[in-house]
Structure 1
Amino acid sequence: MLSPVRFRPLITGLVAALAATFAVLVVHSGPAAAHGNVVSPASRNYGCFERWGSRFQDPAMATEDPMCWRAWQANPNAMWNWNGLFREGVAGRHETVIPDGQLCSAGRTESGRYNAMDAAGNWKTTSIGGSFTVSLFDGARHGADYIRVYVTKPGYDPVTSPLTWSDLELIKTVPNTPAAQWTRQLSNGVQIDIPASAAGRSGRAMVYTIWQASHSDQSYYFCSDVNFGGVTEPTTPPPSSPSTSVSPSTSTPPVAGSCVATHTVTSQWQGGFQGEIKVTAGSAAIKGWTVSLTYPGTPPIQQAWNAGLTVNGNTVQATNVSYNGGLAASGSTSFGFLASGGPAAPTITCAATS
């Protein structure tokens, strides 16, 4: 069980509004059984995470990226858990189970966490050409029973209309593809790059992707806002934690045991900060890790991603989640967290299972 801790960042303006939202949050383990998203053209919630994950408290979001601003206010966990937009038990009945107007939230899955993704509005777009690539990241290496890529029909306007099934045209189907056959084998998962074509299209549209993971009956649903007529940008794999505007100059010390963990403050504001813990395996591969963070007083951590947390007195124990426990010799992963107060460097220990 995770210990609930209220999040009260002492910031003004937009930040105060966000604080009111975060006040009801509890320390969580991040996405425990859901591990992927379309990273290019970026889905709505991954795009918001990519652009604002390291500065979600920045008032500029309200004017520069208003749809993301509304989504952060509605439920910040939709972005922190960017790889958790899935639904179980669909059994291939996508059009029956997911109602019109709720395609981007997977039918208001996860108790409504992703509802803001359904909102019609001026979401940021990715410029693409008539021939483009859909890049799907799979952090848990589930692979796919199948992947379907749709594009909205001419005349559909995502600025004014929520997405319905009749708005979509199927343009690509990828058959059963084990994770070992995906295009890119990455240290933190796999990625498949799917070529697609919508010749003759111009202007705004939406690319809709269904990923039927080869894991239980997990169906993932992603809405990507695009602008046909641009040039496709090179794709990169997603980060394991938010990118930051701070460039820490920390280095990983030599690993004397099974693993070592280092602490970095990546961003801070009045009344709070964001940190990252990097975990590095020793001279042998490991199957899992546990990092203990001991503070002089009450632990300041309020929320974390890519790790499961428990609190005991002045110690926070962070354990890997299902997709980032296995590390090759000298391999690394990381998890991030939000904390209250001023930056505090804990005493850190790391233990691993091999």
Structure 2
Amino acid sequence: MNLKKRTRLFVGVMASALVATFAVVALPASPASAHGNVLNPASRNYSCWSRWGDKFQDPTMQTLDPMCWQAWQADPSAMWNWNGLFREGVAGNHQGAIADGQLCSGGRTSSGRYNALDTVGNWTATNLNNSFTMNIFDQASHGADYIRVYVSRQGFDPTTTALKWSDLSQVAEIGDTPASEWDPATGGVQLNIPVSLSGRSGRAIVYTIWQASHLDQSYYWCSDVNFGGTTNPTTPPTTTPTTTPTTPPTTTPTTPPTTPPTTGPTSNPPASGACSATYTLASQWGGGYQGSVTVTAGSSAIKGWTVRLTYPSAPSIQQTWNATSSISGNTQTATNVGYNGALNAGGTTTFGFLGSGTAATPTVTCSATV
């Protein structure tokens, strides 16, 4: 089948981790290896990270998104390392390596890090038509011996039943494709694989096996979908990944973090045709905090943006994702990275950062290249 080539994008994740229920948050450890995952329809752990990565301490997750909640509680690193769900040395014998009921965790790979992804329940589902395009992200340019896409049989209910191999039917496959053929001009590779079904409705699991070509390394992803659906069960915030994920750090602040603040954001919208920026304090704890900024294009498209956050005193910024950040005096200047500078009129993107010390509300300005 045809493989449509798309522009690459850099993808990764912010680094911090939840070690116990709202108990500790820590600053980044050294980066782990980057690999890939299904971005759409989003796999279980990528979906949980993309919605809650900036709000992973928010107690409303427990009621709004209980399946993600239990996964965060079981092992937060399964979300931070959303692109590392693989096994090695399978030699193509996927059914022999992975038992029924363990398909979503890759057979309890990585010492059980991803086990919670096998939990049966009402995972947030992506609404799909019978014909859809699967987006797979190959962050490390591993290439593929093959990628196989399966869909669970009509009538299978993932909210009550664990997935078995016998529940799956293969619906798409691409063969040997070196990463060098996947638009090598930029880092990271997004593959767009068309899938066409007929007569499907209701809940299902799209199951994907990516056999990487650099090693005998097999990736396994469960994506919850709703064929013909019009709404999703939850409406939490969305996060865009941009930095390399890390394993959970072992050092912790001396006092527990607080729940996300309830105070509103601050913004300084520019003239029409430029951009505006909105700052939100996502979370804070003793000795540190996490900030988030939403950039919105004005009435005309823009090619790039620069946001300046001016604080009462010089900030101490430890890490930034989705932007390049620098500090001069009491001003933090953040500029877009290659993949999120161009925005259509009214379009938005976000970036975030970790700071040490006590959070202060900055004055925010935005300028754009049009």
TM-score range, shorter chain: 0.5 to 0.7
Task: Classify 1:274/1:116 alpha carbon distance in 2 versus 1 (closer, same or farther; 3 Å).
Answer: same
CA RMSD, 1 decimal:
4.1
1:342 is matched with: 358
CA distance in 1, matches of 2:186, 2:289: 27
Is the contact made by 2:118 and 2:162 (CA closer than 8 Å) also made in structure 1?
yes
2:104 is matched with: 104
Query: Shift in Å at residue 300 of structure 1?
Result: 10
Is the contact made by 2:55 and 2:283 (CA closer than 8 Å) also made in structure 1?
no
**Residue 267 (1) aligns with residue 262 (2):** no
Query: Shift in Å at residue 186 of structure 1?
Result: 7.9
2:146 is matched with: 146
SS at match of 1:38: strand
**Residue 221 (1) aligns with residue 236 (2):** no
2:204 is matched with: 205
**Residue 18 (1) aligns with residue 33 (2):** no
Query: Shift in Å at residue 143 of structure 1?
Result: 1.3
Query: Shift in Å at residue 78 of structure 1?
Result: 0.6
Please show how residues 31-180 of structure 1 align to structure 2 within 5 Å: 32-180=32-180
Is the contact made by 1:70 and 1:116 (CA closer than 8 Å) also made in structure 2?
yes
Deviations 1:277-299 (A, max 9, x none): xxxxxxxxxxxxxxxxxxx9xx9
Q: Which moved more, 1:172-181 or 1:79-88?
A: 172-181
Task: Classify 1:164/1:341 alpha carbon distance in 2 versus 1 (closer, same or farther; 3 Å).
Answer: farther
Task: Classify 1:142/1:123 alpha carbon distance in 2 versus 1 (closer, same or farther; 3 Å).
Answer: same
TM-score normalised per structure 1: 0.64
Task: Classify 1:45/1:248 alpha carbon distance in 2 versus 1 (closer, same or farther; 3 Å).
Answer: farther
Query: Shift in Å at residue 162 of structure 1?
Result: 1.4
Query: Shift in Å at residue 267 of structure 1?
Result: 3.0
Deviations 1:52-82 (A, max 9, x none): 0001111111111110011111111111111
**Residue 193 (1) aligns with residue 192 (2):** yes
Task: Classify 1:110/1:343 alpha carbon distance in 2 versus 1 (closer, same or farther; 3 Å).
Answer: farther
Query: Shift in Å at residue 201 of structure 1?
Result: 0.5
CA distance in 1, matches of 2:120, 2:357: 37
1:240 is matched with: 242
Task: Classify 1:79/1:247 alpha carbon distance in 2 versus 1 (closer, same or farther; 3 Å).
Answer: farther
CA distance in 1, matches of 2:128, 2:152: 14
Task: Classify 1:94/1:164 alpha carbon distance in 2 versus 1 (closer, same or farther; 3 Å).
Answer: same
TM-score normalised per structure 2: 0.62
Query: Shift in Å at residue 111 of structure 1?
Result: 0.9
CA distance in 2, matches of 1:172, 1:232: 26
Instruction: Name the % identity.
Output: 58
Task: Classify 1:337/1:71 alpha carbon distance in 2 versus 1 (closer, same or farther; 3 Å).
Answer: farther
Query: Shift in Å at residue 198 of structure 1?
Result: 2.1
Query: Shift in Å at residue 232 of structure 1?
Result: 12
State the one-letter code of the partner of 2:21.
L
CA distance in 2, matches of 1:305, 1:197: 36
CA distance in 2, matches of 1:28, 1:304: 14
- Runs of 5+ unmatched residues, structure 1: 1-5, 10-16, 250-263, 277-295, 307-326, 345-354
Deviations 1:151-175 (A, max 9, x none): 0011211001111111110111110
CA distance in 2, matches of 1:63, 1:40: 24
Is the contact made by 1:39 and 1:238 (CA closer than 8 Å) also made in structure 2?
no
CA distance in 1, matches of 2:116, 2:131: 29
Is the contact made by 2:317 and 2:353 (CA closer than 8 Å) also made in structure 1?
no
Is the contact made by 1:39 and 1:237 (CA closer than 8 Å) also made in structure 2?
no
| Count of paired positions | 268
CA distance in 1, matches of 2:80, 2:180: 27
State the one-letter code of the partner of 2:198.
A
Task: Classify 1:237/1:26 alpha carbon distance in 2 versus 1 (closer, same or farther; 3 Å).
Answer: closer
CA distance in 2, matches of 1:111, 1:123: 23
State the one-letter code of the partner of 1:28.
A
CA distance in 2, matches of 1:186, 1:117: 34
CA distance in 2, matches of 1:55, 1:46: 14
- Runs of 5+ unmatched residues, structure 2: 1-15, 233-237, 245-259, 268-278, 293-313, 323-336, 342-350, 361-370
Query: Shift in Å at residue 342 of structure 1?
Result: 2.9
Is the contact made by 2:53 and 2:239 (CA closer than 8 Å) also made in structure 1?
no
